[in-house]
Structure 1
Amino acid sequence: MAAVQPHNPTGGQWSTGFCDCIDDLENSCFTLWCPCVTFGHIAEILDQGYTTCQRSGIVYALLCTLTLTRLQFLHSCGYRAKLRRLYGLPEAPCEDSLVHFFCEPCALCQIAGELRNRGYDLEKGWEENKKRLKPPAKLPPSVESGMSRD
């Protein structure tokens, strides 16, 4: 069976709204009560299997419980930025850090929904998805300007 390229259903726009978690009650309730599991699924897919769902979920849970200051939002907003870079999505409805700080469950639901709409089955993990889908091309490294030859 030939690999299928994850599709880009919206041409650089989010396919899920920030408050669309209301439409997916199963995902939103699960994310509200177990955000570390949802985050683990997201991280495994976006890291292309480099980190496992379990490892990422444990790190997220530790950040939630040990810091008591909600520092997990800093960790999770990095994955939102990674998803946006991969698919050319806008930083909306506001900056990633603000989205995750003020409404972490909605932000995680939106990321999970976006990955599902692009063909990923989060519960199957990276290896199973890799067999079914061809991942998006990695971005080339950014080149900083400022140095030139004279």
Structure 2
Amino acid sequence: MSALVLRQPQAWDGSSDAAEWASGICSCCDDMTDCCFVFWCCPCFACKTTKTFGECLCLPLLDVCGCVRPITMSMRVSVRQQYGIKGTLCNDCLCSTFCSPCVWSQMSREMKDRKLPTVLGDLIHR
């Protein structure tokens, strides 16, 4: 059964009306509950955040295979694009590689602050 495409994905044009992150990369203490959670068990926190965003729960576990964190980086890019946040792939790569727990915390805070529905890539078949 084929999925019906209701609207084609639109390219992000990087216009000047793009938003900034609601909180900085080092603002982990803004939400102490999440701060403690990410500090004591970052993989569990990453899985919870990924599931909240609408992706596979275990996806972040693939990051343990190397020093570069492709899942963390791709999730950061996806969150940035979902909410129209300014940024660059280079910055996403650097933050994800050298400060992964801070990135997961920032993405979680952003989703809570925005409270916008996420758009899932898969359509539910009827």
Which one is further off, 97-106 or 28-37?
A: 28-37
| TM-score, with structure 1 as normaliser | 0.58
Whole-angstrom distance in 1 between the partners of 2:29 and 2:119: 32
In structure 1, stretches of 5+ residues that fail to align are 1-10, 120-132, 140-150
Whole-angstrom distance in 2 between the partners of 1:33 and 1:70: 20
2:97 partner letter:
F
Q: Percent identity over the alignment? A: 26
What aligned pairs does 1:13-92 form with structure 2 within 5 A after superposition? Answer: 13-46=20-53, 48=54, 50-51=55-56, 53=57, 55-56=58-59, 60=61, 63-64=63-64, 67=65, 69-71=66-68, 73-91=69-87
In structure 2, stretches of 5+ residues that fail to align are 1-17, 122-126
- Alpha-carbon deviation of 1:45? 2.8
- Alpha-carbon deviation of 1:23? 2.6
Query: 1:148 matched to which residue of 2?
Result: none
| TM-score, with structure 2 as normaliser | 0.68
Provide, for residues 72-130 of structure 1, a one-character-per-residue CA deviation record: whole Å limited to 9, x for no partner. Answer: x22111000001111110127x61010011111111110010011122xxxxxxxxxxx
Retained in 1: the 8 A contact 2:63–2:70?
A: no
The question of 1:111 aligning with 2:107 is answered: yes
Q: How many residues get paired?
A: 103
Give 1 or 2 for the bigger CA radius of gyration.
1
1:100 partner letter:
S
